[in-house]
Amino acid sequence: MMHRLLDVPEGAEAFLVQLYQESYFHFRDRASFRQDGRPGTWALDLRRPLARSAHLRAVCALLLRQLEATGVHQVVGAGAAAGLLVGGLVACGHDIRGGIVRERRKPYGFREQIEGALSRDQPVAIVDDILASGTTMIRVAEVLKAEGYATAAAFPVFEFSWRTGRAALLARGIASHSLARLSHCQRQSLEQTTVWNVASSRQVVWELKQRPPSPDQVHG
């Protein structure tokens, strides 16, 4: 399988390619499953590279550049990867407030669903590792609205361009600003090897070439 990285920030090409490579897992290397329970043929897991300080600092530096351009100083997310991003942005940024949206309101303690240092007087940006269907970010936006916060925009690290997440967010008035959009390329039938090059149009192309899976693997 091959993917193309589009709309990559200038100067971030090599790093985002490395981040993608370290996040990519084929079913032969690490089993993953879809929401309906079926096994997936491949998956991205950014939680592993984001749990390394050097990678997290580099990703947060790129996201902070985008946040500064929009004038947003508050970030929130839900889940493990978003929690790493929120913590990294608060630690690396200047005057950045952060918050975490829980799956449900705690039945004890302060009984809050949003925990952190967010202010209702300023807009909030939603961060996450991957934008696919947009379900997680939309849920976060709905919780923010119910709690009296205004959502400024969404800032995923990677975005699957063939999924409906961007459109779903836009339908709710939320713009998405990913560090890179991923698009499908034609499948190749070569030995597994990684090749990437930087084009003059600020577009990074990298190819993961592998033997084609057997019919039972494709339809399993």
What pLDDT was estimated at residue 194? Answer: 39
Question: Helices (H) and strands (E) in the chain — how many of each?
Answer: 7, 12
Q: Look at residues 202, 129, 135, 128 and name the one whose alpha carbon lies nearest to residue 163.
A: 135
* Amino acid residing at 12: A
Banded pLDDT at 198 (limits 50, 70, 90): very low
What pLDDT was estimated at residue 36? Answer: 87
Which residues in the chain belong to E strands, given as ranges? 2-6, 24-26, 42-44, 74-77, 97-101, 114-116, 124-131, 151-160, 175-176, 180-185, 193-198, 204-209
The residue-averaged pLDDT of 195-199 equals 39
The residue-averaged pLDDT of 161-189 equals 89
What pLDDT was estimated at residue 185? Answer: 76
Query: What is the average pLDDT score of the chain?
Result: 86
* Amino acid residing at 8: V
User: Which range has the worst mean pLDDT, 87-96, 132-141, 162-171, 177-186?
Assistant: 177-186
**Which of residues 27 and 64 earns the better pLDDT score?**
64
CATH architecture of 2-218: 3-Layer(aba) Sandwich (3.40)
Sketch the domain layout of the chain as residue ranges.
Answer: 2-218
State the DSSP code for 111: -
Give residues with Cβ within 8 angstroms of 161, minimum separation 6: 6, 181, 182, 183
Say how many CA atoms lie within 13 Å of 87 toward its Cβ: 12
